[in-house]
């Protein structure tokens, strides 16, 4: 079978419109994860007895533990939403070919 060098199967079907909503959601999820890291660091610093990072907001041990828990939850939620958005952005919308027809790669 002759393989031409300039052949690209992805050009057979034009790409659809860009998914700006998913990109924006991924960016907001990354910001949410970053905010979660900052809150978790402030809560951990208060629990370890360092100077309070948020002033009177985390004076007690209970408030510092709540900050740590909230920060870890925001970090987890941000990463989960970011991964979901990236998976939807990477979803193949091109021509589907049978696996046995694809070029074998070592």
Q: What local confidence, expressed as pLDDT, does residue 17 receive?
A: 67
The count of other CB atoms within 10 Å of the CB of residue 77 is 14
Quote the pTM value: 0.67
**How many angstroms separate the CA atoms of 58 and 70, rounded?**
13
Annotate 95-106 with b (16+ C-beta within 10 A) or e (fewer).
eeeeeeeeeeee
Q: Which of 26, 9, 35, 30 is nearest to 92 (CA)?
A: 9
- Tens digit of pLDDT for each residue in 40-81? 998 888 888 766 666 666 677 888 888 899 999 999 999 999
Helix (H, G, I), strand (E, B) or coil at 92: coil
Q: What local confidence, expressed as pLDDT, does residue 51 receive?
A: 62
Judged against a pLDDT cut of 70, whether residue 91 lies above it is answered with yes
Instruction: Give 91-98 contacts, CB < 8 A, sequence gap 24+.
Output: 93/15, 93/16, 94/9, 94/10, 94/12, 94/13, 94/15, 95/9, 95/10, 95/12, 95/13, 97/9
Share the mean pLDDT of the chain: 80
Residue 86 corresponds to which tokens in the numbers above? Answer: 């990236």
């Amino acid at each position: 079978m002759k393989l031409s060098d300039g052949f690209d199967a992805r050009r057979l079907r034009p790409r659809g419109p860009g998914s700006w909503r998913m990109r924006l959601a991924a960016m907001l999820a990354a910001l949410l994860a970053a905010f979660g890291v900052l809150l978790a660091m402030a809560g951990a610093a208060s629990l370890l007895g360092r100077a309070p990072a948020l002033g009177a907001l985390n004076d007690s041990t209970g408030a510092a533990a709540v900050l740590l828990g909230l920060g870890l939850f925001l970090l987890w939620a941000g990463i989960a939403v970011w991964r979901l958005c990236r998976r939807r952005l990477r979803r193949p919308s091109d021509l589907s070919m049978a696996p046995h027809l694809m070029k074998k790669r070592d």
